[in-house]
Structure 1
Amino acid sequence: MNKRWEYSGFGIPDDFFVRGKAPMTKEEVRAVVLSKLRLKEDHIFVDVGAGTGSVSIEAALKLSRGKVYAIEYKEEALSLLEVNAKAFGVENLEVLKGRAEEELKKIKGFDRIFVGGSGGEIHWILDYALEHLSKEGRIVITAVTLETLTEGFKALKKKEYKDVEVVSVGVSKGRSTGNYTLMEAQNNIYVLSATKN
């Protein structure tokens, strides 16, 4: 099934993606992540811990003259990523199967990087990104736990990234129950962003 997205705004609805049990950056958080990345159509973009590919695919749709590398090592997520990429018809997305520390070395330079899952390699990823991001390159990291938030925030400051920012994204969605609508809170997500110094 082809799922073309005809709009220019960020935040493709979640139900456009085949999800399974793999992690996925939800549409409202994805819209914030993509806005913090500040993409241009010719950028080279890397998605570490790509999961179902929702961020990779939405970025690929924006990068008409650019390229997306989606790094993932979990088998179920890899299958879903490829299914979703095919459904959206993106041709500028390359899936790299493996851990970040192995796969990032295959990419010598890039303009933007998103870390949706680091697999415990966050410090290595930040060091590699600092060395290989283009001038004024951007990094965005999402964190679900306070521990990941603290570690990521401290690491960005210590490694001398600039414009380090953290945003807490709390989303509640309406759920119908009879004649009423209840607001159900989703997990709070922290979005860290910074620029190469």
Structure 2
Amino acid sequence: MAGAVARFLGSLQAATTRTGYARTLARLTTIAGPHHPVADLTPDDYATVMAAWDSAAAATWNRHLSALISFTTWAQRQDLLETNPARRLTRRATARQGDRAIPQPRLETLFTNNRHPLRERALWRLLYETSARAEEILSLYIEDLDLEFRRARVTSRGGAIEYVHWATATARLLPRLLTGRIAGPVFLADRRAPASG
């Protein structure tokens, strides 16, 4: 067991995978014994290994089971193992993440918090209301804006010219952001360009 596990772990390219699998396989080696023949591994050995994670989250269980299954597949290819000791174990269903959207009240707090600069609040609101890509919005020039009709001309992926539209909240912020400017980028950086150009 000990030699086979060492060779298997050495065959793994990703260090993170190797580290993760090492813990599971160390437990298998301890349970079966370091000198135990790989060919004699049984479903009971694997079940005993996995019992350590019976009360763990499904993702944790599945990660350790993946380590055992990967080792089993490798051992079968090396002709060290004819059977599949993992055959009685099944992956567990992971809990759905649910709606990962940020709740509306939290967004409103972010958008209206005066601790954030006007430029950032206008950018966030415009991104939210238009659903445009950040690159499209950050590339906007004042000349691209049609404030009266609440829209802007953007160049989408592939070079097509399209229009994005915004709602009342953005319509209130943009004039404040653009005060005194009639041309140039909508979202100016804080830094000044070097004198060299």
Question: TM-score, length-normalised on structure 2?
Answer: 0.25
More strand by share: 1
More helix by share: 2
Question: TM-score, length-normalised on structure 1?
Answer: 0.25
- Give the greater-gyration-radius structure (CA): 2
